[in-house]
Structure 1
Amino acid sequence: MDVVMTIAGSDSGGGAGIQADIKTFQELKVFGTSVITALTAQNTLGVEAIFPTTPDFVSQQMTAVFNDFDVKALKTGMLFSDEIIECVADKIQEMELQIVVDPVMIAKGGASLLQQEAVYALKTKLLPIATVLTPNIPEAEVITGMTMNTQSDIQHAAESILEKGVQCVVMKGGHLEDDEFATDSVFLSNGTSFKMSSKRIATKHTHGTGCTFSAAMTAFLGKGLSLQEAILEAKKFVQLAIEHPLNLGHGHGPTNHFAYQNHRNYEVMISEA
């Protein structure tokens, strides 16, 4: 069985972070290992407290897993501090792994999940070794210092990120104003680009969508799918998770990680970027 890893924070509400990643791995039939960077007290209404682990303990967790498992792909989520980012980057930079970086910065309720000083470490330490970066528009604006309102803005920002060494950037378009479709723009370092569009769903149950998308991509890469195949299947996984909500909680409810196995005939629309 293929083994993958998530390096992220724990969500006590179960909708995002480590919990969402492990659920996604399980649904996609890969064996999920985990490295916890922080504990959070949170639910669908918001984050009430954050308790980060130490960089040394993050390193010990990674060493324990790597010494015993043949990890094919990993993802990073909430890394919280520059020290943790540097620790993670140092540990994996010489390894032959598919690395998916989800630059988690802000929780659905507005709580900051990445310290301001950590953005520089993300850009200089982690992006140069990443296979894929999966920012939403606000995250991409922080990383590049650019404002994005048009497709041209998105392309210029993606090109700026690719120059940092990332092999592929998936610009998630959920924050763009479009009443009908949610469109993600994909840019690869070889010059290839395309868009993925899916029906926009009017729902508040979107907690953990970014975690779930990047975890699904990690699982598919770990199973040996090509980069484009993994991205498209991950888009399908998260779209179905949104379309078939569980209706849990009183705030931004979690997505449905069971949906992919029950509704697999969904097709993502592909077009030129």
Structure 2
Amino acid sequence: MASARDPVSPPVALAIAGSDAGGGAGIQADLKAMTAHGVFGTSVATATTAQNTRGVRDVHAVPPAHIASQCDAVFDDFDVGAVKTGMLATAETVETVTGLLAAVDAPVVVDPVMVAASGDRLLSPEAEAAYDGLIEAATLVTPNADEAAVLVDGPVETPADAERAGRELVAAGADAALVKGGHIGDGETVTDTLVVESEGGGDGGSDGSGSATALRFENPRVATDATHGSGCALSSAIAARLARGEPLREAVAAAVDGMGPAIRRGYDVGEGPGAVNPTAFDGGA
């Protein structure tokens, strides 16, 4: 006698990002993080990359029309509870994704992949400028310090700088900004700064200081250079929690706290530094 099916119906999230051939970042890390948080992950590939733990060898951007076709297929069949964007590669891709998400009634987490770990800029000036519209549509934007410096056109070298940058991003239209502190200083503590638009808004000045609230999350720095995929995993963990219906601040706090185990228990694979382990998040599903 055949056994009966016992299906589950988890929330659904969508990752719109590049594919990492080495599996440590991009949509591969996104889907691992979403699964770890009890969410069914769908994906739209914006680019394919020939890369491994030692670096990127080649990037091939997916035509915008095919990106749109992938998005249409997902939204036509799934009740998507949250979206995260990662590597978007070109100005045309950024503009395409911004237009596609305009009609989406779900939280959008924007991870602006702009600067490599080496400090090299990954996007053309045109592509960087195209992010203005996507940030305006974001529920949350999650730049590291280098990316925040590009977005606000100013240095982000201290937690105070991070708060200022977060306020500027909220003033630019994002509901909230999480400026990650891993690239700030080299002390024993990592300080991530969340700036959230206050209820009721308000003019608040050019930096949004009068209409936003800042929160800081401090966690011990893990002594490792195996952080490949950390930004992807964090933004996807937040998106997964939003898809589960968690409030933004709680989703961010839990995901940030969970990054410690994800980094400490990172994957020791390949001949390079390795990658974070999105399945090791504390407090996942």
Aligned counterpart for 2:104 among listed residues 95, 108, 111: 95
1:37 paired with 2:46, answer yes
Higher Rg: 2
The equivalent of 1:221 in structure 2 is 242
Unpaired runs of at least 5, structure 2 = 1-9, 199-211
2: distance between equivalents of 1:151 and 1:206?
A: 20
Q: Is the CA contact 1:181–1:200 (under 8 Å) kept in the aligned structure 2?
A: yes
| Partner SS for 1:146 | coil
Aligned counterpart for 1:161 among listed residues 159, 169, 183: 169
Distance 1:10 1:114, change over 3 A: same
Compute the TM-score of the two structures, normalised by the length of structure 2.
Answer: 0.88
What's the RMSD between the two structures over aligned residues? 1.5
Deviates more, 1:140-149 or 1:34-43: 140-149
Alignment of 1:1-273 (within 5 A): 1-108=10-117, 112-123=121-132, 125-190=133-198, 191-260=212-281, 264=283
Deviates more, 1:246-255 or 1:80-89: 246-255
The equivalent of 2:207 in structure 1 is none
Q: Is the CA contact 2:163–2:214 (under 8 Å) kept in the aligned structure 1?
A: no
Distance 1:185 1:258, change over 3 A: same
Cα offsets for 1:53-96 (capped at 9, x unmatched): 01111000000110111101000000011111111111111221
2: distance between equivalents of 1:107 and 1:149?
A: 17
Aligned length: 262
Distance 1:24 1:162, change over 3 A: same
The runs of 4+ residues in structure 1 deviating greater than 3 Å are 107-113
Q: Is the CA contact 1:46–1:107 (under 8 Å) kept in the aligned structure 2?
A: no
| Partner SS for 1:67 | helix
2: distance between equivalents of 1:88 and 1:58?
A: 8
Q: Percent identity?
A: 41
Unpaired runs of at least 5, structure 1 = 266-273
| Partner SS for 2:58 | strand
Q: Is the CA contact 1:204–1:251 (under 8 Å) kept in the aligned structure 2?
A: no
Q: CA deviation at 1:117?
A: 1.3
| Partner SS for 1:155 | helix
| Partner SS for 1:192 | strand
